[in-house]
Structure 1
Amino acid sequence: MRALAAPRGDRGSPVDRPGIKRGPRPGPGSPYCIARRRELDPFARTYTYEISHQMDARRLLLVFGLLAAAAPLASAGDLSLDFYKSSCPDAEKIVTATIEKKIKEEPGTAAGLLRLLFHDCFANGCDASILIDPLSNQSAEKEAGPNISVRGFEIIDEIKKELESKCPNTVSCADIVALSARDAVKLAGGPSYDLPTGRRDSLVSNREEADNNLPGPDIPVPKLIMDFVDKGFTAEEMVALLAGGHSIGQVRCIFIEPDATPMEPGYHAAISKLCDGPNRDTGMVKMDETTPNVVDGGSYFDLVLAKKMPLTIDRLLGLDSKTMPIIKEMSSKPDQFVPLFAKSMEKLSALKVITGKDGEIRKTCSEFNNPVAADSGASVIRISSVDPEDLEGLSAGGTHVSDGVSHGTLEPEKGAGSGGAAPAGKGAGEGKKHHKGKGHLKLRGGG
């Protein structure tokens, strides 16, 4: 099942799919046989594709997967404090007011929002890709195994709706997720930390990225450390991040394996009672039995060393030769946790962000903006490094006609020289019209 990506047809009314026969696949020597995803040629040519509007936009999904892989990563330096000072002055106040209300109604909300941020950012960057709803024939990050129990989506939607009424097309869903987590941490007794904004929303939501990148509850500690180091964290920052995230909220019994690693006997008996029988699938256990709704690193470290944490990974941290000294140090000096956790949250919130003109600002957080134009024109999105076989119905060097309908052309763009892949998302989702032909979607590389 392919990853879900923009653009796509109208969800309410299926797009006609004419009978299109695939043209002959270009051979390795063909100028149209361009690099595949993960094997991107930095000198790949860019091409112009003109595709019939009758063609289902979902056929272009892989194009955007390729585009996302080719795009250069933005740095945290592209974000800024008070990013919305002029464009939407009350943006952060609106987020904070909503989070305050939700946590007052349900204190456990803080844990859900913190987890939502981690699962969005750690999978493939802080880009709100976790918010996209899957379609019947397309997967999305939300469907990944580790994300099945993630919550807080409706809170993000509520905030987005209010922001759209005040400042249309301005505040990204990715920033809303990051701001909500920041406020949730503070309201749950955790530290305040700076959060620059200016993130943009992704054009891809890939279930495989989440399945492959999100750590499981029983991941070996050396592998966990490696995963965090690959994303720029130290072992100490990793421990602080897990301590903050695992000191609040609850965990489903299905993720608890009491016998996987040593557990304090009395705690083992209590867990077994809570999660036995029918409760195995539906039961919930508090992550921190002493202060379940407070971001409390000190309590977490003590419980880890006492072998009284429900998740296997937390107990493993207290046994591993690399992390056990860190746990003991922070348990004896709990004041070290606060600044380290704040620093780790800042780094987490800036992982692989999309900024500038890349990506888009979604109108609805659970849906990509639809760049497929109405009959009056066409939108332009930027692509490169495409395997023509992935564009069904397009044959190299000409227009393929089936049932009297012109379904597309594939030809080198005039004046396109060698150079890096075109930046992702320039013009994507912005509704710009560059073609007067009726009922067509035009994708143009370079420029």
Structure 2
Amino acid sequence: MATDQKILSFLFLQLVFVLLVSNIGNAKGLRIGYYHKTCPSAESIIQKATYRVISRAPTLAAPLLRMHFHDCFVRGCDGSVLLNSTTTNLAERDAIPNLSLRGFNVIDAIKAEVEEACPGVVSCADILALAARDSVSMIHGPYWEVPLGRRDGRVSILNQVFAELPAPFANITQLKQMFAAKGLNLKDLAVLSGGHTIGTSHCLGFVNRLYNFTGRGDTDPSLDPNYIVKLRQKCKPGDTTTLVEMDPGSFKTFDEAYFTLVAKRRGLFQSDAALLDDPETKAYVILQSSTKGSTFAKDFAESMVKMGRIGVLTGNQGEIRKHCAFVN
């Protein structure tokens, strides 16, 4: 048994190494100002279009950020989450974790504007990366330079979502492995989890922690009992429609309040609570929850740039889709 475990560990490390080499190699094709000559108005068009949306509906910032995350963690940041299923293939967006994604129409509308200005030049993957950045910036979050030059993938497979996308039920061991496989470290794990400072979740994402955590009608001991009482007032067993703020009181504002919640054992998901189960991620949570001069904004910007380089297609790989929901 011990030998088998060593072999599995060795194979896992080999896989991580291969993915890292692949990610680093392709990411070199990205650069700031990539469209400066081929479509100089691209970033301005995307920023203005995103502003129009977020100024009317600021709660869409969280879904756009989440969509970018879901895209990058499955097959890399290649816009594959935007593709529709076909009669012969079930795509990522129809996997259960992605059924609650919103903002596809926003990306499609921005793409149409960009196509009108510069046909066949700007990828959907780059538009999604920029829209996520711009929407976060517009709700008092950090701004970061987005290296561009991603190409759009032509493949989107539903079952890959379950294998590659971290789940809200994930424990710290699973989270560490899934982030490491994408070239992200423990700090990135803690920082990117902080994206839960904005947005909402359906009760379905955490209701098991309130009523039937181990199948014996019990609650999750890692969740503050007083918070359980409040959440039970909002979420009844079997509730699939009610939305709950992930960062109560400031779910529309990008700030470090998420870490204060996690430190108080009030993170909504098991994956939030899991940050307290590793010394390094716990230290980051405690630091950001207790420091007035928080580094979270700066850290988030840096981790988002790293995440945006995961498994990108560049050069002659992939394509530039005419419509984000369909391959050419």
TM-score (normalizing by structure 2): 0.86
Find the structure with the greater CA-based Rg. Answer: 1
Q: Does 1:98 align with 2:57?
A: no
Match of 1:358 among 303, 309, 317: 317
**Letter in structure 2 aligned against 1:327:** V
Distance 1:261 1:123, change over 3 A: farther
The 5-angstrom pairing of residues 87-236 of structure 1 reads 87-236=38-187
Match of 2:220 among 251, 260, 265: 260
Cα drift, residue 332 of structure 1: 2.4
Question: What corresponds to 1:79 in structure 2?
Answer: 30
Match of 2:198 among 242, 248, 251: 248
**Letter in structure 2 aligned against 1:368:** V
Rounded Cα–Cα distance in structure 2 between residues aligned with 1:269 and 1:106: 31
Q: CA RMSD in A?
A: 1.6
The answer to whether the 8 A contact 1:261-1:315 is kept is no
Question: What corresponds to 1:327 in structure 2?
Answer: 285
Cα drift, residue 81 of structure 1: 1.2
Segments of structure 1 that go 5 or more residues without pairing to the other structure are 1-68, 370-447
The answer to whether the 8 A contact 2:80-2:92 is kept is yes
Rounded Cα–Cα distance in structure 2 between residues aligned with 1:122 and 1:137: 23
Rounded Cα–Cα distance in structure 1 between residues aligned with 2:274 and 2:237: 26
SS at match of 1:318: helix
SS at match of 1:296: coil
Question: What corresponds to 1:432 in structure 2?
Answer: none
Rounded Cα–Cα distance in structure 2 between residues aligned with 1:296 and 1:164: 34
Structure number with the higher strand fraction is: 1
SS at match of 1:289: coil
SS at match of 2:244: strand
Rounded Cα–Cα distance in structure 2 between residues aligned with 1:165 and 1:126: 24
Rounded Cα–Cα distance in structure 1 between residues aligned with 2:74 and 2:277: 27
The answer to whether the 8 A contact 2:46-2:130 is kept is yes
Question: What corresponds to 2:276 in structure 1?
Answer: 318
Identity %: 37
The answer to whether the 8 A contact 1:261-1:316 is kept is no
Cα drift, residue 85 of structure 1: 1.2
Question: What corresponds to 2:296 in structure 1?
Answer: 337
Cα drift, residue 139 of structure 1: 0.7
Rounded Cα–Cα distance in structure 2 between residues aligned with 1:343 and 1:174: 19
Rounded Cα–Cα distance in structure 1 between residues aligned with 2:139 and 2:308: 18
SS at match of 2:169: coil
Rounded Cα–Cα distance in structure 1 between residues aligned with 2:163 and 2:221: 24
**Letter in structure 1 aligned against 2:196:** H
**Letter in structure 1 aligned against 2:162:** D
**Letter in structure 2 aligned against 1:119:** H
Cα drift, residue 307 of structure 1: 1.6
Question: What corresponds to 1:349 in structure 2?
Answer: 308
The 5-angstrom pairing of residues 16-31 of structure 1 reads none
Cα drift, residue 316 of structure 1: 2.3
**Letter in structure 2 aligned against 1:311:** F
Cα drift, residue 319 of structure 1: 4.1
**Corresponding residue pairs, total:** 296
The answer to whether the 8 A contact 2:260-2:288 is kept is no
TM-score (normalizing by structure 1): 0.64
Question: Could you give the per-residue CA deviations for residues 335-385 of structure 1, whole angstroms, max 9, x where no partner exists?
Answer: 22122111100011111111111110000100000xxxxxxxxxxxxxxxx
Q: Does 1:269 align with 2:229?
A: yes
Cα drift, residue 323 of structure 1: 2.4
SS at match of 2:252: coil
Cα drift, residue 305 of structure 1: 1.1
Structure number with the higher helix fraction is: 2
Segments of structure 2 that go 5 or more residues without pairing to the other structure are 1-18, 211-218
Cα drift, residue 145 of structure 1: 2.0
Cα drift, residue 320 of structure 1: 3.9
Cα drift, residue 130 of structure 1: 0.4
Cα drift, residue 270 of structure 1: 1.6
Question: What corresponds to 1:406 in structure 2?
Answer: none
